[in-house]
């Protein structure tokens, strides 16, 4: 059962999407309520304070709204004692390939975050402290994955952090369920069904090591039938 605090956070983070239309608001409420990655990032204190955070494949900007709402509730004295304080982020920049998603993000979060339409493989994201890539890497091919990780490493500041959620290609039935759901959501949002380029977690960890990161893995499928894992990767200097 969702706690009163979680309901308040959900309402605060999804509320701005009313201005972006019926679909945007209902998608925000459903995704933020059901996907464990959002609560997990806060409950585990995985995102530190930063001057700039970049969300690659940001969709309609849910992470930005979630983090801003968490900070707002914390500063108002409404925060659970068993959760670490939410991060203080100076600037949040989101990039997505889909213009409709970016337009929804801009309508909902104008003045709270910046958003642009662009390809994560080629867009110049600039210097940043944190890069977040949730459920996106498997949409680009294996060579492009490695190239993107190298680009991310190059733009991260000293001690910079990459957070990415990926599916465990060796995860058996839960992995195949997650793929089916992924394709269904992609289709429902009006996008074509792409080929997916997945890896086992061991292989993801190897690729991160080869591109200059030191990574830790945390299962991120709580209460869902999926095989998702969150990788938190620091820059090796």
Domain boundaries, the chain: 4-121+128-235
Token pair in block for residue 61: 């900007």
Predicted pLDDT at 223: 78
Higher per-residue pLDDT: 212 or 168: 212
pTM, full prediction: 0.92
% of residues, the chain, pLDDT over 90: 81
pLDDT digits (tens, 9 = 90+) for 115-162: 999 999 999 999 999 999 999 999 999 999 999 999 999 999 999 999
* 4-121+128-235 maps to CATH 3.40.50.150: yes
Asked if pLDDT for residue 193 goes beyond 70, the answer is: no
Opening angle at CA 218, ends 4 and 155, nearest 5:
100
Q: Which of 216, 208, 197, 204 is nearest to 150 (CA)?
A: 208
- List the single range of 32-36, 216-220, 223-227 with lowest mean pLDDT: 223-227
| Average pLDDT of the chain to the nearest whole number | 92
| pLDDT confidence tier of residue 221, bands split at 50, 70 and 90 | confident
% of residues, the chain, pLDDT over 70: 89
Predicted pLDDT at 170: 75
> How far is C-alpha 191 from the geometric centre of its chain's CA atoms?
19
Asked if pLDDT for residue 109 goes beyond 80, the answer is: yes
| pLDDT confidence tier of residue 224, bands split at 50, 70 and 90 | confident
Predicted pLDDT at 73: 98
């Amino acid at each position: 059962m969702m706690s009163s605090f979680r309901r308040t956070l959900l309402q605060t983070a999804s509320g701005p999407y009313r201005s972006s239309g019926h679909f945007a608001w209902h998608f925000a409420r459903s995704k933020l309520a059901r996907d464990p990655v959002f609560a997990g990032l806060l409950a585990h204190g995985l995102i530190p304070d930063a001057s700039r955070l970049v969300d690659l494949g940001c969709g309609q900007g849910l992470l930005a709204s979630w983090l801003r709402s968490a900070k707002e509730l914390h500063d108002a004295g409404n925060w659970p004692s068993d959760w670490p304080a939410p991060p203080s982020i100076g600037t949040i920049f989101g990039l997505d390939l889909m213009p409709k998603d970016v337009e929804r993000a801009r309508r909902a979060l104008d003045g709270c975050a910046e958003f642009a339409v662009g390809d994560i493989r080629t867009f110049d994201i600039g210097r940043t402290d944190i890069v977040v890539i949730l459920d996106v890497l498997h949409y680009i091919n294996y060579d492009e994955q490695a190239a993107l990780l190298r680009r991310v490493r190059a733009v991260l500041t000293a001690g910079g952090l990459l957070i990415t959620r990926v599916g465990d290609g060796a995860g058996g039935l839960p992995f195949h369920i997650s793929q089916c759901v992924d394709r269904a959501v992609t289709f429902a949002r009006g996008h074509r069904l792409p080929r997916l380029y997945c890896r086992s977690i061991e292989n993801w960890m190897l690729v991160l090591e080869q591109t200059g990161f030191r990574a830790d893995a945390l299962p991120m499928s709580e209460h869902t039938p999926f095989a998702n894992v969150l990788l938190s990767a620091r820059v090796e200097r």
